[in-house]
Structure 1
Amino acid sequence: MAKLSAAERQAQIVELLSSNGTMKAVDLADYFQVSRETIRRDLIALSEAGTVKKWFGGALPVNDFSVKPVDTRLMDHQDIKMKLCEKAMEFIPEHAVLYLDTGSTVLCFAKLLQQLSGYTIITNSISALNALLESNHQIIMTGGTVNAQVMSTYGMQTTSLLKTLRVDAAILGTSGFDRHKGPSTNHFEDAEIKKAAIDSAQTSIVLTDSRKATYSSLTQYANWRDIDYLITDSGISAETVQQLSEMTTVVQA
């Protein structure tokens, strides 16, 4: 990376945090190939300017724990997300009953299912429903209150239905899970739905690109020991894989 001025580096730090959420100072130092002390000074300057918040050895944007619309996130690292989805299909029997979570990576999984037939798919994701409307699957949409930002339903109707069902596999996403002991989300209502889906599933699979291991989100919805497979890409660090492998089966696509 070409050497940047402090102002240029700080502007890029703000962009990275806006895209990724919370990041550690050590990861920012590695990214910009500068010392931790340089990053520390950058974060102090940005914090004093009110642009970022310093937090536990790193920083987060002022609007961290917010959620971008799913259609916006769909285009981020789309090739990686599709590889994760293709790998997940190796753990799913033909004509299975599936629960599809919300989120951009699971939406990629729904788009992959467009090419197949004979599955029963239960979802609270309006985006996944739209992607599968013309497919040759049986689709069951949960009821509930509509969250227009993340294009999903939530509430008692959603969780009550899931508690009555048994599915072969729950396909789940996660927000940043650094400093959590399991997959996470930015919405408490979403956490309750994910918990109900895990309880109803014979197999639970979390799909996430490796960036999610380096920043944090609001609330943990399960312990990694509750998850059968964590499917991620090769960008995740060996140290993180070792830690996660003590609690769940980590599969790298």
Structure 2
Amino acid sequence: MGVRAVKPGDRQAEILACVERDGEVSVPELAERFRVSAETIRRDLAQLAATGALQKVHGGARRLRLQAEGSFEERMSEQSAEKALIARKLRGLISPGDTVFIDTGTTTLACAKALADVQRLTVITNSLHIARVLGGGQARVYLLGGIFAPDNGETVGPMALEQIAQFQADYAVIGVAALDAEAGAMDADFDEAAVARAMCARASRTIVVAGSAKFGKRALHRVCRLEEIDTLISDRAPGDAFQAALDRARVKLI
């Protein structure tokens, strides 16, 4: 009796079930289990990894451990030197008269402090912290309305998204929870990811500011693919594999 053919979608669902059950699987064992070639399994794993369903590793795949974030206050005390370096690098890109979206985050807050002396800067933000930093200086600040989320000191929700659509900016400066070569830039919070996506859509160029500790990590909600990022600013260069992915996506690393 011949082996029953399994449709690709059904096979991928079974592969994902194996990963969830065992934690990690190899290409050879999956190829033997489903009676298909190793190349077919590699394509299956690549497709599943692109959706964020699992993490593709050398020779197989493992269960995806998603990046979570602590409270705003907890994150404020983490990697302050790295955030200050990122902020100084961003300052070199922003010119007098520019219009900039800046979303909520501890790295973007550090960036806002570095931009305080830029003449005639216009900033659109959903962060109360960033509005306070820039509102008393040289910048004209538009603070987006919406549902107030007190922990991060931000506004989110449909009203914030509608107001973002009323602006057009030179740059969107976006902080993220995770960066992955296949899945792109991600956030741990649904509403924050929605705000970031909306800002990117209304800006001429997207700048992601992210510490190197976020390289190779994944979070629950995608902000954008690597190909949609114009510039990535970090505290240090990534490993060769991630750098190759940035090069393929034509992302400028600073």
TM superposition score normalised by structure 2 = 0.71
Structure 2 equivalent of residue 100 of structure 1? 102
Shift of 1:135: 1.4
Structure 1 equivalent of residue 240 of structure 2? 238
Counterpart CA distance in 2 for 1:161 and 1:151 is: 18
Structure 2 equivalent of residue 141 of structure 1? 143
Which residue type is aligned with residue 220 of structure 2?
A: L
Which residue type is aligned with residue 229 of structure 1?
A: T
Question: Which runs of structure 2 are paired with 1:91-240 in the superposition (5 Å)?
Answer: 91-178=93-180, 180-240=182-242
C-alpha contact 1:144 1:157 (8 A) present in aligned 2: yes
Which 4+ residue blocks in structure 1 deviate beyond 4 angstroms?
none
Counterpart CA distance in 1 for 2:97 and 2:80 is: 26
Counterpart CA distance in 2 for 1:178 and 1:149 is: 26
1:85 is the counterpart of 2:87: yes
Counterpart CA distance in 2 for 1:112 and 1:153 is: 22
Call closer, same or farther: CA 1:100–1:223 in 2, change over 3 Å.
Answer: same
Q: Secondary structure at the match of 2:195?
A: helix
Which residue type is aligned with residue 252 of structure 2?
A: V
C-alpha contact 1:206 1:230 (8 A) present in aligned 2: yes
Q: Secondary structure at the match of 2:155?
A: strand
Deviations 1:79-121 (A, max 9, x none): 2112112212333232211111111110001111223332111
1:247 is the counterpart of 2:244: no
TM superposition score normalised by structure 1 = 0.71
Q: Secondary structure at the match of 2:242?
A: helix
C-alpha contact 1:170 1:205 (8 A) present in aligned 2: yes
User: What is the aligned residue count?
Assistant: 198
Give me the CA root mean square deviation: 2.4
User: Can you give the 5+ residue segments of structure 2 that lack an aligned partner in the other structure?
Assistant: 1-23, 25-54, 56-60
Q: Which has the larger radius of gyration?
A: 2
Which residue type is aligned with residue 216 of structure 1?
A: R
Which residue type is aligned with residue 86 of structure 1?
A: R
User: Can you give the 5+ residue segments of structure 1 that lack an aligned partner in the other structure?
Assistant: 1-24, 26-54
Which residue type is aligned with residue 173 of structure 2?
A: I
